[in-house]
Structure 1
Amino acid sequence: MLKRANNAYVITGAGISTSADIPDLEHLSSSIDISSETALKNDPQQYYAEFHKLFIDPVFENGPTDSHRFLAKLEEDDLIKGIVTTNIDFLHELAGSKNVADIWSNLNRNHYLKCGRIFPIETLKSAVPTCPICGGLLIPDPVYRHIGIDENAYLRANQWMKQADLVITIGSNGYYDNIPNDINVININPKRNHFDQRAQLTIHSKSDLVFDQIYDYL
């Protein structure tokens, strides 16, 4: 199906990043509200200690996963045109993917609260990132948006879906599902999910295992 497609796109959710020990935002277990700007302001040290444990350390120590790298290779080989993701971890881009619609934004866009300057993901490696100019705290863009929609990325994703003749869903629970009804869908997820009923092909397995097995055939 993939080799026959002219405009294949991918939708990814939390499941593609779990092998990097990055948690699913839906089932996040944390001592503080990671999506709260107030929590950051009230206790920056506690906030960033938790944020490092949940996101920053796994991103730089464990990611990108084999699946992220495989998708980057598919894009390089022009077998897929782009990726729509509800993940904020920036692992698709770190793996080398160029066309990514991060519909909940990502950790490569971070605002200083006082001056508004924007810095990349590497800045988050500091224990408590503060601006060298204004001294303000750094807030990741997904938190700044309260884990809300990035409208530009969302519109881009919708445009891609209109162009698609194949959509591959990986580790997604269907938070983004603007797929036209006449489009072929391949669904990769270890558990039953939102896409099981409409997919032409469903593979109940972890994506790292699936892609390791089919790599030599593409």
Structure 2
Amino acid sequence: MDQFQQLASWIKDSGNIVFFGGAGTSTESGIPDFRSAAGLYQTQHNSPYPPEVMLSRSFFMSSPDIFFDFYRSKMIHPEAKPNGAHRLLAKLEDEGKLKAVITQNIDGLHQIAGSRRVLELHGSIHRNYCMGCRRYYSLEEWLAMTEAVPRCPDCGGIIKPDVVLYEEALDQEVLVEAVDSIARADLLIIGGTSLTVHPAASLVTYFSGRHTVLLNRDPTPYDEQADLIITERIGDVMGRLQGLLA
């Protein structure tokens, strides 16, 4: 039995699958991974700031114009569409097999593909809130604002994307729900993540089910604990799986 047949067999035998994903889940949708985007920005704009600085809470507060220039140009991809990975995960949820998608991504592609239970560890570009009056703005409303630092027409407060910046804590309710979902799962599929960004990466250690599968092109710190590792592109893997699961 090859790797794909093995994974398909485990999926068929599982009733409580959880998917834990990172940037690699969306690269085949045309969204560059975080550090690639930041590196491109630094080259094009001759910026002296590393990505961890530009996307920190303190930098956001001190230099919002530079923050929003980077965020608008490199972190938002409204044209992106779900790929095979997003679509298969949504299908598995529809069939009652997949119980949760836990993602480090902020692009909302899982929901666009049809997934309903998506735990967004780092927030979403699709939600934006005024820091003054807490008025909500959709991504479309936010993108329509032309000023360098978008401000609320009601109170003049800065409209901040609902994404977790460096120096900010993750949402505790989302974390607790993610831990509970992983702890209950019988099959954990980890895809498109280096498992080096904490505390998100440490969540996979709560898994005590039957099988752990890693879908990642590069090695991760969790490789020795995995029951199966597939290093091909995750969209291609999911596409082949769809055929085996039909």
Normalised by the size of structure 2, how large is the TM-score? Answer: 0.77
Of the three residues 3, 8, 25, the one matched with 2:12 is 3
* Alignment-derived partner of residue 200 in structure 1: 227
Residues 1:23 and 2:33 are matched in the alignment? yes
* Alignment-derived partner of residue 117 in structure 2: 99
- The separation in 2 between residues aligned to 1:119 and 1:77, in whole angstroms, is 33
Alpha-carbon offset, residue 196 of structure 1: 1.8
Whichever residue aligns with residue 54 of structure 1, its letter is K
Of the three residues 33, 36, 47, the one matched with 2:56 is 36
Change (3 A) 1:102 1:178: farther
| 8 A Cα contact 1:104 1:148, kept in partner | no
Change (3 A) 1:25 1:75: farther
Change (3 A) 1:89 1:101: same
Change (3 A) 1:90 1:148: farther
- The separation in 2 between residues aligned to 1:156 and 1:11, in whole angstroms, is 13
- The separation in 2 between residues aligned to 1:143 and 1:53, in whole angstroms, is 18
- The separation in 2 between residues aligned to 1:163 and 1:6, in whole angstroms, is 11
- The separation in 1 between residues aligned to 2:71 and 2:215, in whole angstroms, is 28
Change (3 A) 1:65 1:53: farther
Normalised by the size of structure 1, how large is the TM-score? Answer: 0.86
* Alignment-derived partner of residue 171 in structure 1: 192
What does 1:1-218 correspond to in 2, within 5 Å? 1-19=10-28, 20-24=30-34, 28-29=38-39, 30=42, 31=47, 32=49, 33-56=53-76, 58=77, 60-126=78-144, 127-128=146-147, 129-143=150-164, 146-174=167-195, 175=201, 176-218=203-245
Q: What SS class does the counterpart of residue 204 from structure 2 fall into?
A: coil
- The separation in 2 between residues aligned to 1:90 and 1:123, in whole angstroms, is 16
Looking at secondary structure, tell me which structure has more helix per residue. 2
How large is the Cα RMSD of the aligned pairs?
2.4
Structure 1: where are the runs of 5+ without partners?
A: none
